[in-house]
Amino acid sequence: MFFKSLILILTTTVVLVSCGKGRCPIKNTEDVPYWPSMLGVWYEYASYGDGTTRLCYKCITYSISSLEKLVTIKRDYMLKL
């Protein structure tokens, strides 16, 4: 049974790589964000729990500023139980 599972995994891997699904994506330079449109302070929140009780939550604050061709991004991370 172990041998059949191993053969299945290897065969699936070979098929995915040969059709291009298992390869790393090619870097697309068109997906570079336009930073001047994102200047300011941005927040990212996430809450973790079992649906009724919150175990912890995180807050990430991004401060984006720009001087001519230089973009500065400061990230503050907070995790509370």
Residues whose CB is less than 8 angstroms from the CB of residue 27 and which lie 6 or more positions away in sequence, other chains included? none
pLDDT tens-digit profile of 53-81?
A: 777 888 888 888 877 777 788 888 787 76
pLDDT band at 1 (very low <50, low <70, confident <90, very high): low
pTM to 2 decimal places = 0.44
Candidate ranges 10-19, 21-30, 31-40; pick with highest mean pLDDT: 31-40
Q: Quick one: pLDDT band at residue 22, thresholds 50, 70, 90?
A: low
Structure tokens given for 47: 């809450």
- The domain spans of the chain are 33-81
- Phi first, then psi, for residue 65 (nearest 5°) are -135, 160
Give the whole-number percent of the chain exceeding pLDDT 70: 70
According to the 3-state scheme, what is the secondary structure of 12-74? HHHHHHHCCCCCCCCCCHHHCCCHHHHCEEEEEEEEEECCCCEEEEEEEEEEEEEECCEEEEE
